[in-house]
A and B are shown apart, each in its own frame.
Chain A
Amino acid sequence: DIVMTQSPLSLPVTLGQPASISCRSSQSLVHSDGNTYVHWFQQRPGQSPRRLINKVSNRDSGVPDRFSGSGSDTDFTLTISRVEAEDVGVYYCMQATHWPRAFGQGTKLEIK
C-alpha cells in the first residue's frame, strides 16, 4: 500500500509569514491516465475537512489565492504565502491514484 509522509507534523507560524508543508509518497502517484491525483485538505478545529487543492495544483472554488500546491511524482508541497489567523487547523495530503486511498498523518498549523 502507498504511504504518505507529511512534514513537519507541527508548524508554528507568525501571522503574515509563509508556511510550507511537504508530502512524500512511497510510490509514484502518476496515474496511467497521465494525471496525478494528489489533493490537499484543511480541517479547522471542530469542523469537517474541506478540500483546498485538487490534482496537485488546482485551487478549489472559494479558496484564497495565498494557498498553492506544487510537486510531481512522489514529492508534493502545500504553500501558504502569508498565514492568516483563519488558517489554523490541520492539513492533510491524500493520494487518489492507487487503491487503497491514503492520507498523510496531518500537519497542525498554529500561530506563534
Chain B
Amino acid sequence: EVQLLESGGGLVQPGGSLRLSCAASGFTFNNYAMNWVRQAPGKGLEWVSLISNGGGDSSYYADSVKGRFTISRDNSKNTVYLQMNSLRADDTAIYYCARHTTIDYWGQGTLVTVSS
C-alpha cells in the first residue's frame, strides 16, 4: 500500500525558514517523481514543486515560491523534502506530498502557519 507521511509543519514567523519532510513507503521510491501541493485555509489547491525520479536532477517550481523554496530527495531514506525560506503570511497552508507526475497518491498533509 502506498503511504506518504508529511512532517515538519508548524508556526513560524514571517521571514523564517522551515523544512518539510515526506516519508514514502509501499512503492519503489527511486522510480517516481514527487510533488508538493499546498492549500491555504478555505482555498483551492496550488501546485508548488516537483522533483524528478532517480537522482532528482530536474526540479520545477511555481512562480510564487521560486527562489525561496527548494525541493530535494534522499532515495536512501525514501524521503522528499521542501526547504522553505523567507516565509510570508501567504505561504500559510496545508502542504501535501504527492507521488508521480500525474499525482496519483497524496499524503495527509502538514500545516504551516506563518504569523508573528
Contact = CB atoms under 8 A, between A and B. Distances in A.
Interface of A: 1, 37, 39, 41, 43, 48-51, 54-55, 60, 90, 92, 94, 96, 99-106
B61 A51 contact: no
B93 interface: no
A92 B104 CA distance: 14
Contacts of A94: 45, 47, 103
A48 B108 CA distance: 6
Main secondary structure of the interface of A (DSSP, over half): loop
Nearest to B64: A100
B101 interface: yes
Contact of A100 (B62, B101, B102, B104): B62
A55 B103 CA distance: 11
Contact of A103 (B46, B60, B108): B46
